[in-house]
Structure 1
Amino acid sequence: MEAVVVDAGSKLLKAGIAAPDQLPPLVMPSKMKLEVEDQQLADGAVVEEVVQPVVRGFVKDWDAMEDLLNYVLYRNIGWEIGDEGQILFTEPLFTPKTLREQLVQLMFEKFNVSGFYASEQAVLSLYAVGRISGCTVDIGHGKIDIAPVCEGAVQHVASKRLEIGGGDLTNLFAQELKKSNPSVNLDTSDVERLKEQYACCTEDQLAFEDIESSCQPERHTLPDGQVITIEKERYIVGEALFQPSILGLEDYGIVHQLVTSVSNVSSEYHRQLLENTMLCGATASMTDCSVE
């Protein structure tokens, strides 16, 4: 049986049968709604509770993860109990050994897989574009992984992980929009859509510093009829990747982190790594980062 590939992220889970040059047929939210009995209510009413199995790239709730994989593998992929196949999981940078062992135990003991393999996301991202060496900047929903890869091997000593991601940028965008549109009520789904449509990066820091005078306001009508004005907020979101201080973090931005990461690898690989720098993740679509 062909192997199943599963990429379980903080926001989305992607899965499908391994096949070249094909998008994953299943893309779904990682969050789950579970019905639980509320002990604080007199009648013990059943309420819905939102559970997030994966937080900042790592599995935090194994019971929820098992339920999620049950739904994915048996109801969507088409596995049958007693006739399970092989599976490949993508693995974020710096995955603790204990989490990897728990995943292996879950797959063999609960899902009876015939074969299991975990491969690092940075390596798989480069393989997808026909490279075995390069540097990946993976901007996920809850983390940023920067990983130099030489001849198919991640250079862990030189790799970097930042505890920020698309979710933090969404929260920042919501805060900034509220400042300029105090009378407008926005829910998370509205902010997500607005971020995807409008958020971007300026060409350089000087351009960002000049947005107060150069930015043209845009008016956007929400589905409920409310009208919102978007100005410099669209650029602040992208700039936070280069200046984490905007998010209140004392850390360097992704360009500095990338250069530092590559400089910690043997000099013979420097040119190859920088020439094959790859941006991954949906948030990366609003960046245009180059290193000279």
Structure 2
Amino acid sequence: MAGRRAEEHRGLLSIKYPMEHGIVTDWNEMEKIWHYIYSKEQLQTFSEEHPVLLTEAPINPRQNRERTAEIFFETFNVPALFISIQAVLSLYATGRTTGIVLDSGDGVTQAVPIYEGFALPLSITRSDVAGRDVTRHLKLLLRKEGLIFNTTAEFEVVKTIKEKICFLTSNQQRTYDDRTVPGGTGELENTSYVLPDGRTVEIGVLPRLKAPEILFRPSIIGHEFEGVHEILISSIEKADIDLRKIFYQNIVLSGGSTLFKGFGDRLLNEVRKIGPKDLKIRISAPQERLYSTWIGGSILASLESFKRMWISRKEYDEEGLRIVQKKTRRGLGVGAIHRQQKIDAKYQEMSATIAKEQLEKLSQQFEAFRDKLQDFAVSHKKDIKKNANFRRAFQKMCSNIGVDPLYSSTNFFTKMLGVGDIYYELAVQITEICVALNHRTGGMMEIDELYKRLMKTRSATSKSDADIVEEDVVKAIEKMSTLGTGIQLVKCRNTYVVQSLSSELNMDQNEVVKLAQENNGHVTVKDLIERLGWQRNRSEKALNDLTMDAIVWLDEPGSGRSTIYWFPGLHK
């Protein structure tokens, strides 16, 4: 028994939930619910007649997504399927394609930043403290008041009480007791509530107030998760620095656990306390946010352009479960996230050791020539620091005697000239830019694009006033590559492409990158066949390998036209 019938007879039943914290844990029970949805009591339709748009929590395990597709194609025989992240659809429901969604439902709370319709997986944060935990805590608080709810059916009663009469204060620092909330609008009386069996009970202020408080302070129930406000800010701060202002001004609430009275005001106050002080923070709380995921899904499915995004039965039969990952996880996938985490760890290790090990070694090289170099450098202090051409000539002169005077952070040139370790500084800035943009570029960026962003970063930092040219960027990356950072230069025709993900490109993949650079960032199988003279099998293998490494994004126009493979970091 499922759905409304189970709810109506809950006093006689043991209630089970096939999902925990947004993830399916009991597939047999989940399949029964899907059968119930198609039954005469609900949709009254045949599954074979309609495509299905399903939603999932961010970072849903790959095997769960594949199991879902397997059930719908092989058990329900649906003609087409698509699986979308819930938060993306909630954002669509507000008319936006860029913003950050704070979604708190029954099983999971998550903050999902979205840029131009794509969720940014490296910036997603989540907590397993959500609505069901609030219900459990309310049940405990009511027990302390003498109201005992033991069975699974009675748990549903507590859930209803929670939804109807619980609320939040705008400030967690207020003290309160059973009767009053100082600083509030006045005395808050106990509330009478009629139970399903007809009994009327008195429920005090304290349980109604403290139960939803765990969303902001999970430590109350012994969890080490961050509060919803901390999850939100953590997610924004993980995103590209250029997008943070947009996210702070486009915060969208979604899910039933954001419907508590006072939730929006409390969230705004908490974010203002620990967020940027110079930004105006805007929070959108749509009245229909309990159903915003469904609304966004209906909008998406009605678009003409969405037809090419469906996973058809024919595609599933031909490619199997691989097509599920290919069409529902565009851009950076789970594998790329893991690679990114490893790269981040390398960067942290590099920043802690590079100055001590590399720079001290280079400093020793020109110790014997210090006196002469100091005399020259003092007289040309300004030119060495700010004039890139002069600095290059100075370096060339020094290189003839095996000295690189700008590659130390502890010597005379740092203290007297204020030049510092220019290439180490560039290396750190290049690393930060590449890490921040990998989710948008797929780990490939032209050298001139990196140079422009580097100049923008340096102009915004008062300490970075030295003039640089592209040759300085190339030299900094070459020095970084000897340290095994994963950032390297790929020669493409007359320029360079910076590769910032750790996967190695073979010769065929290098040729594809070169061709894409000439073709405004995209190629097709036909391009490789006609312009490189390759066989179809060789062309498809090279592009499929790049797709599985999350270096290219797919654009499938449909109507018999060829799939376009985009290199986001090469597109202008």
Q: Give the TM bin, normalised by the shorter chain.
A: 0.7 to 0.9
Q: Does residue 217 in structure 1 map to residue 189 in structure 2?
A: yes
Matches for 1:80-91 after TM superposition, within 5 Å: 80=46, 83-91=48-56
The unaligned stretches of length 5 or more in structure 1 are: 1-12, 14-27, 34-46
CA distance in 2, matches of 1:168, 1:58: 15
Q: Does residue 285 in structure 1 map to residue 247 in structure 2?
A: no
Matches for 1:7-86 after TM superposition, within 5 Å: 28=3, 50-75=15-40, 76-80=42-46, 83-86=48-51
Whether contact under 8 Å (1:85, 1:113) holds in the other structure is yes
Q: Does residue 141 in structure 1 map to residue 115 in structure 2?
A: no
CA distance in 1, matches of 2:4, 2:106: 12
Matches for 1:227-266 after TM superposition, within 5 Å: 227-266=201-240
Q: Does residue 188 in structure 1 map to residue 188 in structure 2?
A: no
Deviates most, 191-200 or 97-106: 191-200
1:203 partner amino acid: S
Whether contact under 8 Å (1:32, 1:51) holds in the other structure is no
1:163 partner amino acid: D
Partner of 2:173: 206
CA distance in 1, matches of 2:242, 2:5: 40
Which has the larger strand fraction?
A: 1
Give the CA deviation at 1:285: 0.8
Q: Does residue 197 in structure 1 map to residue 148 in structure 2?
A: no
1:103 partner amino acid: T
Partner of 2:115: 150
Give the CA deviation at 1:226: 4.1
Whether contact under 8 Å (1:31, 1:53) holds in the other structure is no
Give the CA deviation at 1:49: 5.5
> Which string of whole-angstrom CA distances, capped at 9 and with x for unpartnered residues, describes residues 196-229 of structure 1?
222111111223x345673333141433334323
CA gap of 1:260–1:73, structure 2 versus 1, over 3 A, is: same
Whether contact under 8 Å (1:140, 1:283) holds in the other structure is yes
Partner of 1:39: none
Which has the larger helix fraction?
A: 2
The unaligned stretches of length 5 or more in structure 2 are: 182-187, 273-572
CA distance in 2, matches of 1:50, 1:213: 35
Give the CA deviation at 1:88: 0.6
Other structure's SS at 2:215 match: coil
CA gap of 1:225–1:154, structure 2 versus 1, over 3 A, is: same
Q: Does residue 110 in structure 1 map to residue 80 in structure 2?
A: no
Other structure's SS at 2:106 match: coil
CA distance in 2, matches of 1:281, 1:128: 13
CA distance in 2, matches of 1:30, 1:106: 24
CA gap of 1:213–1:194, structure 2 versus 1, over 3 A, is: closer
Whether contact under 8 Å (1:54, 1:60) holds in the other structure is yes
Give the CA deviation at 1:250: 1.6
Percent of residue pairs identical: 27
Aligned residues: 249
> Which string of whole-angstrom CA distances, capped at 9 and with x for unpartnered residues, describes residues 69-90 of structure 1?
1221243323336x43211101
Higher relative contact order (CA 8 A, sep 6+): 1
CA distance in 2, matches of 1:51, 1:189: 11
Please tell me the root mean square deviation across aligned C-alpha atoms, in Å: 2.5
CA gap of 1:225–1:29, structure 2 versus 1, over 3 A, is: closer
CA gap of 1:32–1:100, structure 2 versus 1, over 3 A, is: farther
CA gap of 1:225–1:77, structure 2 versus 1, over 3 A, is: closer
Whether contact under 8 Å (2:179, 2:204) holds in the other structure is no
CA distance in 1, matches of 2:5, 2:26: 12
Partner of 1:10: none
Whether contact under 8 Å (1:135, 1:147) holds in the other structure is yes
Q: Does residue 270 in structure 1 map to residue 235 in structure 2?
A: no
Whether contact under 8 Å (1:147, 1:158) holds in the other structure is yes
CA distance in 2, matches of 1:221, 1:71: 32
